Amino acid sequence: MSKTPQTPRPKHWLVRPETIRILWAGGIAVLALTVAAELLASPHPYFGIDGTLGFNAWYGLVTCTAMVIVAKGLGVFLKREDTYHDE
């Protein structure tokens, strides 16, 4: 009895390298278009700094980076052993 070789399953479309490249390019294009659209709109800043060009873009990047760093730091303190629930 010989086994029939299984054909490899195709990768999910979100993990294919060409899809990842397209998503990165699309994200960067959307970001660039939103920053460029700020040139056409007149901002109404409340604090002053929020009237700078690209404020939403760089503020979002900074806060997202801070959230990742804080989450990694919390992971160090909240991490449990692999056998924590094996009792």
Name the residue with tokens 């056998």.
Answer: 83
Residue 83 within a domain = no
* AA identity, residue 70: V
Other Cβ atoms within 10 Å of 76 Cβ, number: 7
Residue ranges making up the domain that contains 39? 17-78
Confidence at residue 8, expressed as pLDDT on a 0 to 100 scale: 82
How far, rounded to the nearest angstrom, does the alpha carbon of residue 49 sit from its chain's CA centroid?
25
Residue 55 within a domain = yes
Residue 11 within a domain = no
Residue 6 within a domain = no
Residue 27 within a domain = yes
Structural domains in the chain (count): 1
**Per-residue pLDDT tens over the stretch 27-84:** 999 989 989 998 998 888 998 898 898 898 899 999 999 999 999 999 988 888 777 7
Nearest to 33 by CA among 57, 62, 59, 58: 57
Distance CA 87, CA 58 (A): 47
* AA identity, residue 48: G
Residue 8 within a domain = no
Predicted structure pTM score: 0.63
Confidence at residue 2, expressed as pLDDT on a 0 to 100 scale: 59
